[in-house]
């Protein structure tokens, strides 16, 4: 596969300003949706529209769930019970163990929001001809930045602006002369580590979602590549079986990466409120 073919395949999992449909789909191959804010210098990309759709789905699901839970009546129905179980899992399996019961409950709205937003954006990539917004660095970086800001502001609120940053250095009983060299070095390492951890938080999600969908595109491209060859009769069923198996794996990865993202976010917040 040459560089041009790789670029074309990558285009199917990257952000764009149109929705691409296969040749057998009725209508144009590329749907260029209206751009109402183009005169203001703002263009809506495909991932932006998908994120708005995800936000709408979250509002529809969780406003209904919150009203039922607030009424004191048991939540009924498989659909709402599924989301209730995930809500309780994030509370009891992520927030409270990583942050603490008292502090963890304060951050539940933030943790719930990022968990389900990441999950729904990941699942959007399983919809044919849509795409996964979490396969874009701009989306994952923005979410990691929100976690970073939450970590820093939470720590500064609890320990003060000076206390938070100086508290990054572990307490050690060192001679004064040695402390003059060691503690500034540890402070620089801890500050860099704080930025690196949140950068990795962004890149990990991006790499997993982008790579998975790219591999799916490569496997399915084998069918088109052998269409005019007798090899097609062997490649086609093998590619379909491989794509189906990988799609099941991607479905698992969608949930796993949402869990990893919210768990690490909760862990970083816990480290900011419970320093060395």
Domain enclosing residue 177, as ranges = 3-273
Q: Compute the average pLDDT of residues 23-41.
A: 73
More confident residue, 27 or 111: 111
Residues in the chain: 276
**pLDDT at 24 > cutoff 80:** no
> What is the C-alpha separation between 31 and 48, in angstroms, rounded?
15
Domain count across the chain = 1
- How many C-beta atoms surround the C-beta of residue 94 within 10 A? 22
> Which range is least confidently modeled, 51-55, 143-147, 218-222?
218-222
pLDDT confidence bin for 29, thresholds 50/70/90: low
> Rounded to whole angstroms, how far apart are CA atoms 24 and 227?
16
Residue 209's nearest CA partner among 137, 143, 147 is 137
CA 228 remoteness from chain centre: 40
Whole-prediction pTM? 0.86
């Amino acid at each position: 596969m040459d560089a041009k073919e790789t670029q074309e395949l990558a285009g199917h999992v990257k952000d764009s300003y149109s929705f691409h449909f296969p040749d057998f789909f009725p209508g144009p191959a590329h749907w260029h949706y209206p751009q109402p804010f183009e005169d203001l210098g703002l263009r809506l990309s495909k991932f932006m529209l998908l994120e708005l759709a995800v936000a709408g789905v979250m509002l529809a699901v969780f406003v209904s769930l919150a009203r039922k839970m607030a009424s004191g009546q048991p939540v009924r129905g498989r659909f709402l019970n599924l989301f209730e179980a995930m809500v309780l899992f994030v509370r009891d399996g992520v927030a409270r163990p990583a942050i603490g019961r008292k502090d963890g409950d304060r951050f539940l709205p933030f943790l719930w929001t990022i968990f389900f937003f990441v999950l729904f954006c990941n699942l959007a990539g399983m919809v044919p001809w849509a795409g996964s917004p979490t396969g874009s660095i701009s989306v994952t970086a923005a979410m990691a930045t929100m976690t970073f800001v939450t970590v820093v502001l939470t720590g500064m609120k609890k320990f003060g602006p000076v206390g938070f940053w100086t508290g990054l250095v572990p307490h050690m009983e060192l001679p004064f002369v040695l402390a003059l060299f060691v503690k500034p070095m540890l402070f620089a390492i801890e500050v860099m580590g704080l930025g690196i951890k949140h950068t990795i938080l962004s890149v990990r999600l991006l790499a997993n979602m982008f790579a998975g969908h790219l591999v799916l595109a490569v496997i399915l491209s084998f069918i088109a590549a052998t269409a005019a060859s007798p090899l097609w009769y062997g490649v086609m069923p093998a590619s379909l079986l491989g794509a189906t198996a990988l799609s099941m794996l991607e479905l698992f990865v969608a949930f796993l990466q949402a869990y990893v993202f919210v768990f690490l976010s909760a862990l970083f917040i816990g480290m900011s409120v419970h320093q060395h």
